[in-house]
Structure formats: C-alpha cells, structure tokens
Structure 1
Amino acid sequence: MLTGALAGRKGAAAVALASALLLSPGLTSSAQAADSAPCTPDRNYPGTFLCPIWGSGVNLRTAPDPQAPVASTSPPGGILRVQCQVQGGRATYGGYWHTWWVKTPAVGMTQSAYMSEIFLVGGGNDEPDTGLPTC
C-alpha cells in the first residue's frame, strides 16, 4: 500500500511522463513547427501588422496567386506591413511551398498587394502565421 506522500510523488511522476509523451513531436499526429517570428501589431498604424521577411525585392502580386501580375516588390529593411492573411494559389520557392498569402494595406493611390508567406521568417510550409488574422 502506498503512503500519501509516496502516492503523490508517483502520481506527479506519472503526470509528468504522460505530459512529456503527449507533447513529444514524434508521438503526436498533428505536430506543427512553431512560428519563431510571428507578425506583430504595428502600434503606429492600428489594424496593421509588421512581419519579418527574408530576402529582398520579393514580388508583391495583384492577387494571392503566383501567376498574378507583379504590382511591386518588398521594401528594403526586412519588414513588411500587412493587414491580414488569406489562402490562395500554391507558390513554391526552392524546397518551400505555401498557399497562404499576406495582404498589404492600400495606401493613397497604391492598391493592396499580396506576398507569399514563403518569405515570412519562421513557421513551416503551408502554416498560417500565428500573429495574423484571416482576411
């Protein structure tokens, strides 16, 4: 028969072991890569978000599709201001692929544009950014 103290330690150990097994990526069927650099709200422009991007001169398209015309390219500095994310056509680049696209805000005479989330820092293939709302 277990004493109360011993039962408590064994119970705590069992809970810790069960938690470790459930959280182990190799043992869960729906494990996803963690987004190491999610987009964050832009305090200067409410309703927009700042997204760290890799690469420079990344094509911004007129629609969330890799075949849509190029509207412009990403600004220098590694940050893109966006409104939201939307699913669209499948884009590929090297060994990466994505059907999620970020939408930039329209500013003055410049219309909204879309960039594949392949170029956002963090996350994995076909995973939406954890910091953005859906359009």
Structure 2
Amino acid sequence: MLTLVGAGTKGAAAVALAAALLLSPGLTPSARAADSAPCTPDRNYPGTFLCQFWGSDINLRSDPDPGAPVTATSPAGGVLRVQCQVKGGRATYGGYWHTWWVKTPPVGMARSAYMSEIFLVGGGNDEPDSGLPTC
C-alpha cells in the first residue's frame, strides 16, 4: 500500500544510506555485474512482482523522471509491488545514478507511480532488474 506524501527527515535518509552502503553487497562496485536481489513474482497478485528496496520515504513520481511530481512515498517494510520497469530520466542519489524506473500498479483511484531503481537492493548503476519485464 502506498502512503500519501509526507515529510521525511534528511537525517533518517542519511542513516539509511550509510547502513545500505555498509550492509548491502549489492550496492558495491564489485557486485555491479550481477543482480543479487532480483524482483520476484508476487504469488498473491498475478502479473506483479515484489522488489526489495532500501531507505524510507522514497519519492514515487507520476512519471519515470526525477523532475516529475511526487505522488506518494514508499511503503514501510522495504518491499514494493511493481508491474514492470521502464527507461526514463536519469536520477542520482549520492554516488549512484539510474535511468531505469519501476512502475507500480494502480491502486483504487491512485494512478501508477514510478520509483528509481537506485533504491532497489542488488545490481549496480544503470543495470535493469533481472527479475522484471520491460514495460
């Protein structure tokens, strides 16, 4: 479930980034050639996939572009349900960058939203997720 846009804290984001850098081998340069945590099919919702992400209050946008309006933030729990991945605008965060974005399914009256694959666990800069189809 997506939450409405809320105020996040820069301190929490910095702590999450530091923890991810220290604890996630999927974010280190040595793991760039392989996706250590690909998204997996969601058995409860056919046609969707579950993707692990790091961080909290990650912006979900109306289009796959870092300049698009924020429509929601990531759910608690570190797992996001998505439909597919698409190439879009280049997003950057710290020393990371990505042009791949995951697309969430519409929920109720809420449209699909997009999150940069920078925040997916595993893989390297600008590598598509090996478990997802392209939109």
Structure 1 unaligned segments of length 5 or more: list them.
1-31
Residue 67 (structure 2) aligns with: 67
Aligned residues: 104
Residue 51 (structure 2) aligns with: 51
Which residue identity does 1:45 align to in structure 2? Y
1:120 maps to 2:130: no
Q: CA deviation at 1:107?
A: 1.1
Cα RMSD, aligned residues only: 0.6
Cα deviation 1:33-72 (Å, max 9, x = unaligned): 2100000000000000000000011000000000000000
Residue 36 (structure 2) aligns with: 36
Cα deviation 1:97-125 (Å, max 9, x = unaligned): 00000000001101000000000000000
- TM superposition outliers: structure 1 runs of 4+ over 3 Å: none
- The separation in 2 between residues aligned to 1:54 and 1:38, in whole angstroms, is 13
State TM-score, norm by structure 2. 0.76
- The separation in 2 between residues aligned to 1:108 and 1:91, in whole angstroms, is 28
Percent of aligned pairs sharing the same letter: 84
Structure 2 unaligned segments of length 5 or more: list them.
1-31
Cα deviation 1:6-38 (Å, max 9, x = unaligned): xxxxxxxxxxxxxxxxxxxxxxxxxx5210000
Single out whichever of 45-54 and 32-41 deviates more from structure 2.
Answer: 32-41
State TM-score, norm by structure 1. 0.76
Higher RCO (C-alpha under 8 Å, 6+ residues apart)? 2
1:102 maps to 2:73: no
Residue 130 (structure 2) aligns with: 130
Cα deviation 1:77-103 (Å, max 9, x = unaligned): 000000000000000000000000000
Q: CA deviation at 1:128?
A: 0.1
